[in-house]
Structure 1
Amino acid sequence: MPTLICNCNDTMPLDGAALSGNVPVPAGGVKTPLKVHRLLCRREIGDFTAALAGTDDVIVACTQERALFTEVAARRQAEGTMTAPVRFVNIRETGGWSQGARRDPKTANAKIAALLAAAALPDPDPVPVVDYRSGGAVLVLGPADRAIPWAGKLAEAGLDVAVLLSAAAGAMAPAGLPASRAFPVHSGKLVKLGGWLGAFEASWETGAGRSNPIDLDLCTRCNACIDACPEDAIDFSYQVDLDRCRSHRACVKACGAAAAIDFDRPAAIATERFDLVFDLADTPAFRMHAPPQGYLYAGADALRQQAQALTLVQLVGEFEKPKFFQYKEKLCAHGRNQTTGCTACIDICSTEAIHSQWHDGRGRIEVTPNLCMGCGACTTVCPSGAISYAYPKPDHLGERLRTLLSAYRAAGGRDAALLLHGEEHGNAPILALGRAARAGQAHGMPPNVIPVGLFHPAACGLELWLAAICWGAGRVAVMLTGDEAPQYRTALAAQVAVGQAILAGLGYDGECLSLVDGPDAATLDAQLSALAAPGSNRPAAPPAAFHAAAAKRETLDFALDHLVRNAPRPAASVALPAGAPLGAVAVDTGRCTLCMACVGACPAQALRDNPERPVLGLLERNCVQCGLCEKTCPEDAITLVPRLLTGEQARRTVTLAETQPFHCIRCAKPFGTAQMVHTMLARLGSHPAFAGEAAERLKMCGDCRVVDMMEKNSGEASGNALQ
């Protein structure tokens, strides 16, 4: 795979021989040191065009001139002389320009070698796509002074515009409503807005309370009402200011046959569909952190209005995005037996794309793919792996992390620290930090800190963090910029706390997992200095040989096994914070009747019964701490115990409660448990239906109970006949 590196006019200490160690070589090829270009984007552009003639992907270690290289490649493709796709990787701002790279070129080159090796990995497998179709029908919301001028501009741009003015009168639009009906204008209170790009549905209420008495669809804009109103309560947006109106109703008389003004109009709901929504109201219609695509909020901010309007006109046509998630219902711990267990994904979703769905007492979650923005937070907090990230899949991301760390180690790197960041908001401060370091105004990205761009920082969680520690990372940090939903920081901090508890409990001292704030270059620079320090003083352990699996719990098991085997201070068990996805259940045997309701509710087959005798067992390695057993237990006999149990005991079924079976007093067949029958007798003994001899039936199996009732009824009937 041709790999082109450039020291950017001698501003980076690149070692072609060191960097070539991890660059793939075609079958039968000979590994040679990489040529270090000085100005690949200028006088050495010929080397780039020559590389395009092959069939393998071309890796260009420069993102500064991506547009130039892409343009050259496009020309070659048009000429029919290019067959190789081009990949780009940044080595300048992410490593080569840091002050630490100049002090420690060997470690800096090891990091660059790792970045090049990761860039050579195959692309993720394709996934299904989610389609959007927008015809340009836009609803403009807000007061007249904002909505009317923008509606006119959008109509001139070719969009199909409708306006819904705020129910209360606002300031007069500069020129009022258009003199001609260029677009429909409605007035009322927005009561419902839902949907997404190409499929919004808006409902608004008219004719009730303090809504505008003027029906703007009937209004001819003759201005007779404005002239007649003694309080000047009507402006050229044809909204009645009800605070100024004194109910003279002169406007109604002036309107006459047009009948557009009615202060007693009954309430009505109007509903229409739109492709786009441009919201200029003081308060946004959608309150979630990430509103649906196609909804653009600007409020009263003039600059934001300009920017959002520019985006709006570009959202006409057909669009698609990856379907970012996969869902396996059989692993889901959301609900059983009409009881809700885990709601982690629903609680964290910043787009409100996830909701409960129940059928025959069984709960599952459903995700609206058009609302999903691909943050992956739901997959990170899911304890069972029922919902997983699909683009890329966990095993693909795991292979990327493993490749980075193995290539870094093979090139002589030390004390690797991974910095996971979202590409949308995280790239800007990282690039700014690199430029500041080149100018001597910052330290820059430390040589041992390897940045890993993700679609979103919440898309990678505990199992891959711990796997990275097993593969050789001294530290793993997640960079947040403040653009994330608040609940994401809370959830990631909780995951960090669980991971740190596991590592500390096994003797891996130091801060191995952490969150890093990077809203700007200066803040990020200060935090990276601490991150660059070794995360633990533990003795070096051999890097793990396992690969990440597609199943979350499988990868987590691999990582935990490796950490336990190499633990500096082995422990039989490690206490974990509440909410951890690992643990046991404690059973109060004095209250448990072994009804086995918990076994039926357990989605992970962690709780198990015995078909031959009344025994409740636990396979702790399977437990995801969803709480369904605790909530289902009719005796309140179960308590969750978050912990990590090490060794083989976690893989064996242990007995939590057992008792003797109760034998039917009539046929001696075992049914239920002694404790269950005694509890039933205690609870029902005072009930009239089970008084006297009837109480004995509670000690019978179902068949004998029926026979006993029939015999008793038959005897009573015979006695009555004799009488």
Structure 2
Amino acid sequence: MPTLICDCNKTMPLQAKSLGTALGESLTLHSSLCRREAGAFQQAVRGSGDVVVACTQEKRLFAEVGRQTEGAVAPVHFVNIRETGGWSRDAAQAMPKIAALLAAAHLPEPEPVPTVTYRSAGRLLVIGPVQQAEKVATLVGDALEVTAFAQGGAGAQERTIPVLAGRIDRLAGWLGAFELAWTATNPIDLDLCTRCNACIAVCPEGAIGLDYQIDLARCTGHRACVKACDAAGAIDFSRSASGQADTFDLVLDLRAEPAFAQHAPPQGYFHLPAPDALAGEAGLRTVLRLRELVGEFEKPKFFTYKQKLCAHSRNEQVGCKACVDICSAAAIRSEPSRQQIVVNPNLCVGCGACTTVCPTGALGYAYPRTGEQGLQLRTLLATYTAAGGRDATLLFHSQEQGTRLVEDLGRAARLRQAQGVPANVIPVALWHTASTGLDLWLSAIAFGARQVVVLVTGDEAPQYVQGLRKQMAVGQTILRGLGYAGTHFELLQATSVAALDGGLQSLAGTRQQGPKEAARYAVAAEKRATLELALDHLVAQAAALPEAIELPAAGAPFGTIAVDKERCTLCMSCVSACPASALQDNPQLPQLRFIEKNCVQCGLCATTCPEDAITLQPRLLLGPARREARVLNETRPYACVRCGKPFGTLKAIEAMLGKLSGHSMFQGAALERLKMCGDCRVIDIYSSEREQKITDV
């Protein structure tokens, strides 16, 4: 796979020899690859192998040149080395980083994943003043079929679009599948109304507006409007309110309060609350976007779900609901009766926050897959280190707003208005910054990074930022407990070039410790497996090795449980509830056993325990004991008073006898049968009934 590098009119101090050595190929340094030296690009794309072009500024131009090049068949990958390092103040020291970015660009594209399809025929519902809806129709009417749901205002006398009215009961759905349910409470039938305005003229209270809605709070009931509308018969106060429903592909909501309260509304829904919303820049962008949303659209199905790993619920008891709580799109709902959560792929926006906070890995991020992300991080860090780089910092940022901010910083550095991205900071674009979590962060440290920084730009949901902080607190506690000095995880909040520049420069003076040798393992598809691989490597090279590391209570995926032996009756309800096989019974003895490595701190055991005898204790136990089963509680077995076979625990049977001894149903022989195993209990009942029949005879 040939690599083409260009110093962009000699504005970057690129070192072709050192970069070529790091990549294992001979590189030619160009200065005008997109202009006078475009022939080198044409020659490269005539080959069969993929081509990497170290330029994104002229991506469209290169694509056009490729289309015009006879025999061009090679796929082309573009990577930005200019704004991400080549234009920074310390660009001369950035060759290891640039080599790492080029090496990552050589990786294959992510494997295809299942897709989610939307189909829109262009039926647009506008909720708001009638005149605003009619204005929308003039702007998009050639592309969309507009229907208004009147919310006051005066419309044109010549009605050009259908108008609905009443009380909205429900609006739900997504692009191509919105469902509107409303109750027609207006005495004026808009289909019969001729808009002659006779009713408005005769109404003494002014209760009828030019939207032809009657304000029943102002109407005194003299019914002059009914007489005035006698010919058309559009007004009928005795008409009962009727429920109605319809479907739409798109929704434009002009009300002050949006129909959807979540941070990420459904695709196809737009909210413009300003009085004259369509006049501003936001209105123009919305109108243009609405015009584009006609046809068939696809997006990746961003998540995978494995119910057998899910710690959400057992026996209709809810334990972990981290994914439900953090989802900003209201795409995840709880279904305890089915012992699972349900994710609506049409509402999912691909942020990945649910996968970050999921302790078991039941929810996984699918595009790109975790293994592909791990390979990218390992390639970046291995190449960076091999090229002589030190103290690598990974800067995770969003693919849209984050990328724009990083590129703006690079351009500002070129104009000497900023320092730029430091030489040891490697930008990594993600679909969303919430899509990576503890498994990949700890793996990055194991692979050789000294710090992981996540850039948030203000458009993230508040719960995402909170979730990232909790995960970082857990990771940092683990590393400090193992003796790795410094702050390895940082959340950098920046909405401007100056804030990003200042934040990155403040990190440049810090130093962190990491493992002396970089890990080489492949990131697994299962989250817990990856966490174990990362922990094994970090523990093996740790400066300190305590027996256990206490973890923050919020978001900890590891821990133990404490059992109150005085209250626990060894009913084993917790064993049946545990989704991770951390709690186990012993078929031979009345014992409650625990394997700490398996515990995900979901809390289902504590929720299920009828005696409230279980308490969660977040921590990371180190050493072989973490993988071994240990006894949390045990007691003597209770033997059947008839046959001597153990059938329960001494404590449980004694507790049952104590609770039922005063009950009228359990006196005499009935109470004695509670001390028998199931088989003997049946035999005793049958024998008693037989003896009673003989006595009666």
TM category (shorter chain) comes to over 0.9
Match of 1:441 in 2: 417
Kindly, what percent of the aligned residue pairs are identical? 56
Query: Is 1:352 matched up with 2:325?
Result: no
Query: Is 1:566 matched up with 2:559?
Result: no
Q: Would you say how many aligned residue pairs link Structure 1 and Structure 2?
A: 692
Q: Does the CA contact (< 8 Å) of 1:142 and 1:282 recur in 2?
A: no
| Cα distance between partner residues in 1 of 2:330 and 2:211 | 36
| Cα distance between partner residues in 2 of 1:73 and 1:198 | 37
Q: Does the CA contact (< 8 Å) of 1:377 and 1:488 recur in 2?
A: yes
Q: What are the superposed Cα offsets for residues 628-661 of structure 1, whole Å, 9 maximum, x if unpaired?
A: 1111111111111100011111111111111121
Query: Is 1:177 matched up with 2:156?
Result: yes
| Cα distance between partner residues in 1 of 2:284 and 2:425 | 39
Match of 2:475 in 1: 499
Q: Does the CA contact (< 8 Å) of 1:346 and 1:354 recur in 2?
A: yes
Q: Which letter maps to 2:370?
A: P
Q: Secondary structure at 2:99's aligned position in 1? A: helix
Quote the offset at 1:65 in angstroms.
0.9
User: Larger deviation: 388-397 or 612-621?
Assistant: 612-621
Quote the offset at 1:253 in angstroms.
1.0
Match of 1:91 in 2: 81
Query: Is 1:298 matched up with 2:272?
Result: yes
| Cα distance between partner residues in 1 of 2:173 and 2:471 | 32
| Cα distance between partner residues in 1 of 2:57 and 2:239 | 63
Q: Does the CA contact (< 8 Å) of 1:496 and 1:513 recur in 2?
A: yes
Quote the offset at 1:227 in angstroms.
2.7
Cα RMSD between the aligned structures?
1.5
Q: What are the superposed Cα offsets for residues 467-511 of structure 1, whole Å, 9 maximum, x if unpaired?
A: 100111010011100101111001000000100111111111211
User: Larger deviation: 517-526 or 231-240?
Assistant: 231-240
Q: Secondary structure at 2:345's aligned position in 1? A: coil
Match of 1:271 in 2: 245
Match of 1:204 in 2: 182
Match of 1:138 in 2: 124
| Cα distance between partner residues in 2 of 1:446 and 1:177 | 60
Quote the offset at 1:260 in angstroms.
1.5
| Cα distance between partner residues in 1 of 2:410 and 2:236 | 65
Match of 1:337 in 2: 315
Q: Does the CA contact (< 8 Å) of 1:187 and 1:215 recur in 2?
A: no
User: Larger deviation: 630-639 or 300-309?
Assistant: 300-309
| Cα distance between partner residues in 2 of 1:631 and 1:591 | 15
Q: Does the CA contact (< 8 Å) of 2:157 and 2:195 recur in 1?
A: no
Match of 1:160 in 2: 145
Match of 1:316 in 2: 294
Match of 2:107 in 1: 121
| Cα distance between partner residues in 2 of 1:539 and 1:455 | 28
Q: Which letter maps to 2:599?
A: C
Map 1:299-698 to 2 at 5 A.
299-300=273-274, 301=277, 302-303=279-280, 304-359=282-337, 362-536=338-512, 538=513, 541-578=516-553, 579-698=555-674
Query: Is 1:186 matched up with 2:171?
Result: no
Query: Is 1:4 matched up with 2:20?
Result: no
Q: Which letter maps to 1:20?
A: G
Q: Does the CA contact (< 8 Å) of 2:317 and 2:604 recur in 1?
A: yes
Q: Does the CA contact (< 8 Å) of 1:583 and 1:644 recur in 2?
A: yes
Quote the offset at 1:246 in angstroms.
4.3
| Cα distance between partner residues in 2 of 1:540 and 1:386 | 29
Quote the offset at 1:350 in angstroms.
0.9
Q: Does the CA contact (< 8 Å) of 1:564 and 1:570 recur in 2?
A: yes
Q: What are the superposed Cα offsets for residues 385-440 of structure 1, whole Å, 9 maximum, x if unpaired?
A: 00101111101101101110000000000100001111121011111111111111
Q: Which letter maps to 2:183?
A: E
Quote the offset at 1:243 in angstroms.
5.7
Q: Does the CA contact (< 8 Å) of 2:575 and 2:581 recur in 1?
A: yes
Match of 1:112 in 2: 98
Quote the offset at 1:74 in angstroms.
2.4
| Cα distance between partner residues in 1 of 2:226 and 2:156 | 20
Runs of 4 or more, structure 1, over 6 Å off, are none
Q: Secondary structure at 1:469's aligned position in 2? A: helix
Q: Which letter maps to 1:560?
A: L
Query: Is 1:719 matched up with 2:662?
Result: no
In structure 1, stretches of 5+ residues that fail to align are: 25-30
Q: Which letter maps to 1:544?
A: A
Quote the offset at 1:717 in angstroms.
2.9
User: Larger deviation: 298-307 or 466-475?
Assistant: 298-307
Q: Does the CA contact (< 8 Å) of 1:426 and 1:518 recur in 2?
A: no
| Cα distance between partner residues in 1 of 2:303 and 2:75 | 27
| Cα distance between partner residues in 2 of 1:18 and 1:215 | 79
Quote the offset at 1:183 in angstroms.
2.4
In structure 2, stretches of 5+ residues that fail to align are: none
Quote the offset at 1:539 in angstroms.
6.9
| Cα distance between partner residues in 1 of 2:455 and 2:344 | 28
Quote the offset at 1:356 in angstroms.
2.0
Quote the offset at 1:233 in angstroms.
3.9
Q: Does the CA contact (< 8 Å) of 2:333 and 2:343 recur in 1?
A: yes
TM-score (norm 2): 0.97
Q: Does the CA contact (< 8 Å) of 1:299 and 1:305 recur in 2?
A: no
| Cα distance between partner residues in 1 of 2:147 and 2:153 | 19
Map 1:27-42 to 2 at 5 A.
31-32=25-26, 34-42=27-35
Quote the offset at 1:718 in angstroms.
2.7
Flag the 1:540–1:293 CA change in 2: closer, same or farther, 3 A.
closer
Q: Secondary structure at 2:601's aligned position in 1? A: coil
Q: Does the CA contact (< 8 Å) of 1:461 and 1:495 recur in 2?
A: yes
| Cα distance between partner residues in 1 of 2:207 and 2:640 | 86
Match of 1:65 in 2: 58
Quote the offset at 1:190 in angstroms.
1.4
Match of 1:701 in 2: 677
Q: Which letter maps to 1:553?
A: R
User: Larger deviation: 553-562 or 606-615?
Assistant: 606-615
Quote the offset at 1:541 in angstroms.
1.1
Query: Is 1:253 matched up with 2:231?
Result: no
| Cα distance between partner residues in 1 of 2:89 and 2:350 | 35
Q: Secondary structure at 2:642's aligned position in 1? A: coil
Q: Does the CA contact (< 8 Å) of 1:61 and 1:90 recur in 2?
A: yes
